[in-house]
Every structure is written in structure tokens, then in C-alpha cells.
Amino acid sequence: MGKFNVALDGPAGAGKSTVARMVAKELGYVYVDTGAMYRAITWKVLHKDIPLEDLSAIADMTASTRIELLPGLTGQTVLVDGQDVTERIRSKEINLHVSHIAAIPDVRERLVSMQKSMAAAKGVVMDGRDIGTSVLPDAEVKVFLTASARKRAERRYLEMNASEISLDDLERDIERRDQLDRGRKVSPLRQAEDAVLLDSTEMSLDEVVNAVLELCRTKELRGN
Ligand code: CDP
Ligand code: CDP
């Protein structure tokens, strides 16, 4: 049985990256965090002081930027033009701007084409917003993972230093980003017609991972 691709989409904090990483490990596949790529471009826009409204400068910069995602023991390392930005791309400031940058068509075109080539050899678990609909429309397994906004905020809160942000602010930030991601013109966040919907509000992480692995096994049994 040959390798296949797994597309995992859903709103912020639904558990996509945690689940995708665990599923990839179990299958011996490569995990690709596409959100990290949009965060990396957003980091560079801010770092280079490119005005947020200068769409052509942002497009030119994106076209000449090298993004590398390196798998490691403690998670993925993100390099922008060789510089390690793994920690920096998770800041509040990046959270604030990333959905605006991700709505720019030229930025999406460039990153989607990189993502398609990363998955060309199959054996990839990719998470994001438009993987099942736009990046890998032929992915053999597609999952749309969601949970209530409150639950997603609570899970994120547990991961963070509590003094950084309040639970209510976190929930507002998540909802604001979801609204921008669902409402944009180019490949908005939505469930692909052939994706399986998993609502993890009342599910443990292991239950979600097992549900996704079960879908993969069914695919293997059917021989694709
Ligand atoms: O981890 P979290 O769900 O908070 O966000 P992320 O997956 O790192 O994605 C950050 C932002 O990048 C999202 O809010 C989207 O605006 C954008 N994104 C996108 O537009 N398309 C993707 N395939 C992945 C992320
Ligand atoms: O990538 P995304 O923004 O969708 O979510 P994440 O960064 O993986 O964060 C989800 C957090 O919720 C992680 O701390 C998970 O351990 C936790 N969690 C989960 O993902 N799924 C559950 N069913 C329960 C908890």
C-alpha cells in the first residue's frame, strides 16, 4: 500500500497541529504546519517594517523569501532566510496581523504552491485552513476539526503563561481570527465537501488522534 496525504483543517485552537503531529508520528509521515508559513511571512513584514497596506511590497518580499520547516525532536523549527523564528512567530503581535497577511492573494498563491510541492511525494500530514479545499483537493484523508470557541480558548489558555493574556481576551482573539479566515475572498476557512467533521469539544486528544488514524486505516484497507 503506497503512501497517502492527510489534510487537516479547522479554526484556531481546534487541536490541528497537535493532532497532525501525533498522526504523522504514528504513520511515519512528514508533518507540515502551513499556519507557521503564514506566520513566518507576517514576521518578516513586521521585521522589515513593510507597511501593511503595501500589498505589492508584501507580494515581492514573499516571492523572494525562503521558508524552511525542519522536523526536530521537540517540534518543528521554522527558518526564514536561514534565521530561526520558531518562537517569535507565536507572539501576540503576529496573532494580531497574520489573518490580514494570509488574505493577500499573492501571498497565498506563493505559499500554496510551496505546500503543493511539499506534498507531491505523498506521505504528508498537512494542517491549515484550506488544505482540503485548495492545497490538496485530492488528499486521500480529509478531516475538518472543530470545537466550541470557549473550549478552544481554554485549551490555549492552559498552554500559556496566564499573566500574558486573559481567557476572555484569548477567546475574543480566536473568534476575531476565525471571522477573518472564514470571510476572506481567497480560499476561506471552510469544510471541504468530502471532509469528515470531527467536533472535539467533548473528546480527549487521544480520542481525536485515534479517530483520524481510524480514517487512515479504512483508507489503507480500501487500498486507496
Ligand atoms: O495555531 P492557530 O490555529 O492559532 O493558527 P495557525 O494554524 O498557526 O494559523 C495562523 C493564521 O494563518 C490563521 O489564522 C490564518 O489566517 C492563516 N492560515 C491560512 O490562512 N491558511 C492556512 N492554510 C493556514 C493558516
Ligand atoms: O493547531 P490548532 O490551533 O488547531 O491547535 P493546537 O495548537 O494543536 O492546540 C490545541 C491544544 O488543545 C493543545 O494543547 C492540545 O493538547 C489540546 N487538546 C486538543 O488539541 N484536543 C483535545 N481533544 C483536547 C486537548
The pLDDT of residue 223 is 64
Mean pLDDT for 31-40 is: 97
pLDDT at position 120 over 60:
yes
Question: What number is the average pLDDT over the span 114-130?
Answer: 97
Cell numbers found for residue 54? 503595501
Say yes or no to pLDDT of 197 above 60: yes
Nearest CA to ligand 1 atom 6: 35
For strand 67-72 and strand 75-80, is the pairing parallel, antiparallel, or unpaired? antiparallel
Answer for the pair 107, 58: CB distance below 8 angstroms, yes or no.
Answer: yes
Residues 131-160 have a mean pLDDT of 95
The mean per-residue pLDDT over the stretch 193-197 comes to: 97
DSSP assignments along 29-90, one per residue: PEEEEHHHHHHHHHHHHHHTT--TT-HHHHHHHHHT--EEEEEETTEEEEEETTEE-TTGGG
Q: How large is the ipTM?
A: 0.97
Residue nearest to atom 20 of ligand 1 (CA): 102
Ligand 2 centroid from CA 61, angstroms: 32
User: CB-based burial of residue 161 (10 Å sphere; 0-12 exposed, 13-18 middle, 19+ buried)?
Assistant: exposed
214's enclosing H/E stretch is helix 205-221
Q: Does residue 117's CB lie within 6 angstroms of at least one atom of ligand 2? A: no
Mind listing the domains of the chain with CATH numbers?
Answer: 6-222 (3.40.50.300)
pLDDT for 61 equals 98
pLDDT tens, position by position, 101-116: 999 999 999 999 999 9
Q: How many angstroms does the Cα of residue 189 sit away from the middle of ligand 1?
A: 9
Instruction: Tell me if 205 CB under 6 Å of ligand 2.
Output: yes
| Ligand 2 pocket residue status of 18, Cβ below 6 Å | yes
- Pocket flag, ligand 1, residue 38 (CB < 6 Å): yes
What pLDDT shows up at residue 27? Answer: 95
Q: Is the CB of 160 under 6 A from ligand 2?
A: no
What is the residue-wise DSSP string for 159-195? HS-TTTS-HHHHHHHHHHHHHHHHH-SSS-S---TTP
What's the confidence (pLDDT) of residue 113? 97
Considering the entire predicted model, what is its pTM?
0.95
Cβ of residue 40 lying under 6 Å from some atom of ligand 1: no
* Residue 224: predicted pLDDT: 53
Q: Name the percent of the chain lying above pLDDT 90.
A: 88
Q: Are residues 189 and 38 in contact, defined by beta-carbon separation less than 8 angstroms?
A: no
Helix (H, G, I), strand (E, B) or coil at 224: coil
Q: Kindly report the average pLDDT of the chain as a whole number.
A: 94
Answer yes or no: is the C-beta of 128 below 6 A from any ligand 2 atom.
Answer: no
Task: Please list, in sequence order, all residues whose beta carbon lies within 8 angstroms of the beta carbon of residue 111, skipping any fewer than 6 positions away.
Answer: 34, 37, 38, 41, 62, 67
The mean pLDDT of 51-66, rounded to a whole number, is 97
More confident residue, 200 or 221: 200
Q: Considering only 36-50, 62-76, 194-208, which range has the smallest mean pLDDT? A: 62-76
